[in-house]
Amino acid sequence: MSDPSASVYQERTYGAHQIGYGQRPGIIVVDFQNGFTDPQYPLGGAPLIRRAVDNTARLLEVGRRCNVPVATCYTAYNSKKDMPYWKVAAVMEDLVEGHPSTELDPRLYDPDYDVAMRKSGASIFFQTPATAYLNKENVDTVIVTGCVTSGCVRASIVDSFQWGFRTIVPEDCVGDQDDRPHQDNLRDVNRRYADVTDSAEVIAWIESLRGRNAPEDG
């Protein structure tokens, strides 16, 4: 993530520390629902989101195999009456409960494992049981995946930080409609709230935890 203003922020101590990993990961999956992942819908199927779906599927497979808690969410409303003042026409038209665009993408959602929740705001933590669930599972490190980077993903990163979790963002597991806001927002949260890395590093960390926690033979 090339940044011509990096020296200005460094002089003012932004990004001076890495947050690092804790001992108990949890994965949050933000809005990988058909409305964003299926190209038949106005907001669906952007290249960065398709890439994020593929990489998140691999991360989730490892996470579930290693007993990592997974919280997944979708955005939907009872009707247009209870929607906030969105400026995105496709949200206003499609994201009403029961519309196919609100269904979670089956490539990423395991109903027998994941804890799924509906949200009405940008962040997965806004008026949902996400924080309570992660605390119950003793999670100290939240891995953020989903879409879109500049909207609901960023809001979820900020809330994860505000709830006191170590926050890790694999860049290739989040996506946006365009690369520029994707990179700009990741660059910014990396200065302030989270460590931005990639799926390979996160997968290796999760697998290393399983190895350390495995019972010894004998």
Residues classed as catalytic: 152
CA-to-CA dists, residue 121 to 50, 139, 146, angstroms: 23, 23, 15
d(CA 157, CA 167): 7
**What percentage of the chain reaches a pLDDT higher than 90?**
87
**218 — pLDDT class (breaks 50, 70, 90):** very low
Q: Which two tokens stand for residue 35?
A: 């409305």
Does residue 217 fall inside a structural domain? no
Pairing, β 141-147 against β 174-175: parallel
Average pLDDT taken over every residue of the chain: 94
Q: What is the CATH number of the domain that holds 154?
A: 3.40.50.850
Does residue 11 fall inside a structural domain? no
Does residue 116 fall inside a structural domain? yes
Q: How many domains does the chain have?
A: 1
- Each residue of 12-33: pLDDT tens digit? 898 888 999 999 999 999 999 9
Pairing, β 166-170 against β 70-75: unpaired
DSSP secondary structure code for residue 81 in this structure: G
The answer to whether the CB of 73 falls within 8 A of the CB of 66 is no
- Each residue of 57-92: pLDDT tens digit? 999 999 999 999 999 999 999 999 999 999 999 999
Question: What is the pTM (predicted TM-score) of this model?
Answer: 0.93
The answer to whether the CB of 94 falls within 8 A of the CB of 38 is no
Does residue 172 fall inside a structural domain? yes
The answer to whether the CB of 170 falls within 8 A of the CB of 57 is no
Mean pLDDT of 132-158: 98
The answer to whether the CB of 61 falls within 8 A of the CB of 82 is no
Does residue 102 fall inside a structural domain? yes
